[in-house]
Amino acid sequence: MSEQLDHSFRGAQRALAAALPPGAMLDRGGALELAALNPSEAPRLIAATLVEGGSMRRHQVGEPVAQFAAFLDGTQVSRVMTYRDAVPVVHGTVAAVVRERRDRRMGTWGRPIVRHRLYVPRALVPAAFWERLESTGLEISDTSDAADGSGTPHPFALRDAAIHRVQKDRERAEHELAEQWCGSESRPLFVDGGISGSAVAQSSCAVGVVKSHRTLYVEGADLVTVLALGEGERSSVLRITSPRRTTVASWYLRLRDASGRDPLWGLVRVEMKAEDDASAGEVGHRADEISRWILAETSPVSLPDARWDKMVYGIRDCEEFLKVIQ
């Protein structure tokens, strides 16, 4: 039986080193995500439509209740393996997992996803080089569409393009798992990040919890109200629509007491299916309920993760799990 090709970063390094001229490989590539992604988008405010009551208010959600049956998260790592002239060859790994809570302990639900790929703009490298890459048997994703056609772009721009492609792949993996869950389970799933890009935004089994606030969906006095949320309080429910995404119902929720901290500390934005024919009262009632579920997940704390104010333990558990298997 022939050995299966190892697609992991190390395996790909070996395969490429064998296919390329000596000395072509970079010694070691740090993960690009650390260096690149963060300050990509400018912070912005976008107003969304209020669907609960006539004005933005603070609501006490009540006592925490543990209801989530499982947690979903995905991770990605990309590294430059070599440059062909000024074009980076990026290796990306995406992984996603659903960790189910059974008898108060976390365990893996179904099969986690792990995918490895090379990300290379075919249009920008010589055909022979492309063929050499293909000859290794590694899976290659063509990122040509990231180039604007005006000659060779800045290598960093190509690198960022690759990272965004990896990010898309990660989201796809996450969505696949979320859909699998919703296809076979009716118990609620806690999803890290928004759900509007996924089919599960149309089902009530998944709740998205967003930790980053580069875009805030409130303005003016409403923003002041949101930032003033106390521990265990949520905002009124909004409807968030965007061109290529499913419309979702969303609200802000303060997980922890932020006094003495920055105003976004402990603040998350929750996304759930938009119930078009529900009354405002029903929507508010449902938001309270889900908020109580989320509050129940603030213990145990997810320290030492830097985002522990917003990250629940179940999601940290997914990330730790993925670190091991990817």
Partner 1 sequence: MMGRVVATERKPNTPHEFHFWTALDSPVGIGTIVRVEGSTAVGGQVPRIYGVVVEGFSYTDLQSPLHDVMGHDGAPGNHAMSSTERAEIRLYTAHVLRQIPEEPLQPVPMGSVFLADDADVAVALRMDGYLREGESTGIPIGIYRAGGTEAAIHLDADFLLGPEAAHLNITGVSGLATKTSAVEWVMQSIFTHFPASKGSVAALCFNVKGPDLCFLDKPGILDHADRAIYEKCGVPAGPFENVQYYAPYKSDGFSLNTLRSNEALLDNVTPLTWGLREVLQYAEVLLNKDDVDAKADAMIDFIKENVLDRPFSDPMLERTHTVTSFADLEQWFRDVLRALEKKDDQSWRTHHVATIRKVRNRLSNISTRCKGLVADDGAVSDLPFGTFQDRTVYVVDIASVEEDAQDLIFARVVTRLREHLERRDLGVNHVVVFVDELNKYAPSDGADTYVRKMLLDLAERGRYLGLVLFSAQQFRSQVHRRVVGNSGTSLFGRMDADELATPGYAVLSPATRTKLSTLEKGQLMVRHPHFTQPIFVRFPRPAIMRGRDGAELYPQATDVTLEHAVTRSLRALDPSVTLAWVQDTIIMHEPEAVLKARNATVRARPDDVRAFFRSQFRPTVSGKAAQRPAAPAVLRTTPADDPYGF
* Chain contacts with partner 1 (rule: CB under 8 A): 66, 101, 104-106, 296-301, 303-304, 313-314, 317, 320
Q: How far is the CB of 49 from partner 1 (least distance, A)?
A: 33
Rounded to the nearest whole angstrom, what is the least distance from the CB of residue 188 to partner 1 in the complex?
Answer: 13
Question: CB-based burial of residue 3 (10 Å sphere; 0-12 exposed, 13-18 middle, 19+ buried)?
Answer: exposed
To partner 1, the closest distance from the beta carbon of 102 in angstroms equals 10
Would you say 104 or 154 has its CB closer to partner 1? 104
Nearer to partner 1 by C-beta: 192 or 317?
Answer: 317
Sequence-distant (6+) residues with CB within 8 A of 212 are none
Rounded-to-integer distance, Cα 35 and Cα 33, Å: 5
Q: Which residues contact 151 (CB under 8 A, 6 or more apart)?
A: none
Reading the block at residue 156, the tokens are 């960093």
- With respect to partner 1, which residue has the nearer C-beta, 45 or 65? 65
Rg (CA), the chain: 22
DSSP state of 145: G
Question: CB-based contacts of 293: which residues, under 8 Å, 6+ apart?
Answer: 64, 65, 66, 67, 68, 188, 190, 207
Q: Which is nearer to partner 1, 214 or 323 (CB)?
A: 323
Minimum separation from the CB atom of position 272 to partner 1 (A): 20
Burial of 235 (C-beta count, 10 Å sphere; 0-12/13-18/19+): buried
- For partner 1, give the closer residue by CB, 9 or 68: 68
Least distance from partner 1 to the Cβ atom of residue 197, Å: 27
Nearer to partner 1, 105 or 154 (CB): 105
Minimum distance from CB of 319 to partner 1 (Å)? Answer: 11
